Structure 1
């Protein structure tokens, strides 16, 4: 998650102070990825170091305000215009868990899948309920529309995960059935190896 660029996007609307940026970030994303003030100020310090923001005086309550620079606007435009890189996907804990569970002694991988599917479907239902509540109040501002977009992404992601889990279980069932029907290898009789048979074959005389 790019907190860095998210803060730049908020600062493009005008100078903000740290806790104000945190509140607006969480409002825009529905607190899906909550921030703490420490994260915000650490990120602002790095942005200031890189010349993307500057401290811009104080407000009436004495809060230090930050403003985006021209370099920051260029950085933000590049972020909006550049596709998110999928060539190096982030580690997915669920995919790693199932990969490690395959063949692990004492692990019922189908039980692992079923437990995760139950959790995923419940999360999808919760997100769908939140979406229905959001739609009941017709979105009136950009923050509400932004939150609706985040909710829909979470719903689609949960749906895809549930389908993938179904696929994983089907594949495991097919593998199990194939293993059950595979004939047992027959032990080779002593002294019947190819080397011995060749040794007993008389040489032809031309």
Structure 2
């Protein structure tokens, strides 16, 4: 994913100022999907405007600008959303940690795995709470698409939680066998 496509998506949902976009990244978007600060958002908005993918629709006090996605920007976003994720180098810190867990003492590995199980259970519970609180929001609304993302997050947390429980049980069995 790129900041370009995150901004195009947000602006396709509703025209916004750079400040409003920054606030979006400080909320759930930044917490669960993609982080970006104003030092990267404003230059990217300028590049998108130069490429004709967004346009300034309103200029306010102190140089504030409201941006909206153009038809060309919507086409770029649509093309990106429909394209399969790019193959190539993958950087996933959580997976790297799992590759390296065997470098730990088994007791430390259990502590790590129990922490993962706890955090993923808590994360899934939090997203379930958000879903329940917003159950009446239609999926076709801008907020509804956030609920689709929340459901994806719940299922992702549940999968990692299930894996952590499996790994804990397996490691505990191996440790018990080694002690006998």
Would the TM-score normalized by the shorter structure come out above 0.5?
yes
Partner SS for 1:139: coil
Report if aligned partners of 1:17, 1:65 keep a CA contact under 8 Å in 2. Answer: yes
1:20 aligned residue: 20
Relative to its length, the structure with more helix (as a share) is: 2
Partner SS for 2:104: coil
Tell which deviates more after alignment, 150-159 or 57-66: 57-66
> How far apart are 1:132 and its partner, in Å?
1.5
Q: Unaligned stretches of 5+ in structure 1? A: 182-206
User: Relative to structure 1, is the Cα distance of residues 5 and 110 closer, same or farther in structure 2, using a 3 angstrom cutoff?
Assistant: same
Q: Unaligned stretches of 5+ in structure 2? A: none
1:41 aligned residue: 42
1:4-153 paired onto structure 2 within 5 Å: 4-12=4-12, 16-23=16-23, 29=29, 32=32, 33=34, 35-54=36-55, 56=56, 58-61=58-61, 62-69=63-70, 71-85=72-86, 87-88=87-88, 90-105=90-105, 108-135=108-135, 138-139=136-137, 142-153=141-152
> How far apart, in 2, do the equivalents of 1:103 and 1:29 lie?
33
* Number of residue pairs matched by the alignment: 177
> How far apart, in 2, do the equivalents of 1:178 and 1:107 lie?
14
CA displacement, residues 68-91 of structure 1 (integer Å, 9 cap, x when unaligned): 445433322211221234x44743
> How far apart, in 2, do the equivalents of 1:53 and 1:144 lie?
22
User: Relative to structure 1, is the Cα distance of residues 162 and 88 closer, same or farther in structure 2, using a 3 angstrom cutoff?
Assistant: farther
Q: Tell me the TM-score normalized by structure 2.
A: 0.73
Report if aligned partners of 1:29, 1:150 keep a CA contact under 8 Å in 2. Answer: no
RMSD: 3.5
> How far apart, in 2, do the equivalents of 1:171 and 1:98 lie?
15
CA displacement, residues 163-194 of structure 1 (integer Å, 9 cap, x when unaligned): 1112323443465567678xxxxxxxxxxxxx
> How far apart, in 1, do the equivalents of 2:10 and 2:31 lie?
15
> How far apart, in 1, do the equivalents of 2:169 and 2:17 lie?
52
CA displacement, residues 32-69 of structure 1 (integer Å, 9 cap, x when unaligned): 45643333212213323444334x36435452343444
CA displacement, residues 120-179 of structure 1 (integer Å, 9 cap, x when unaligned): 2122222212221122xx115712212211211111111000111123234434655676
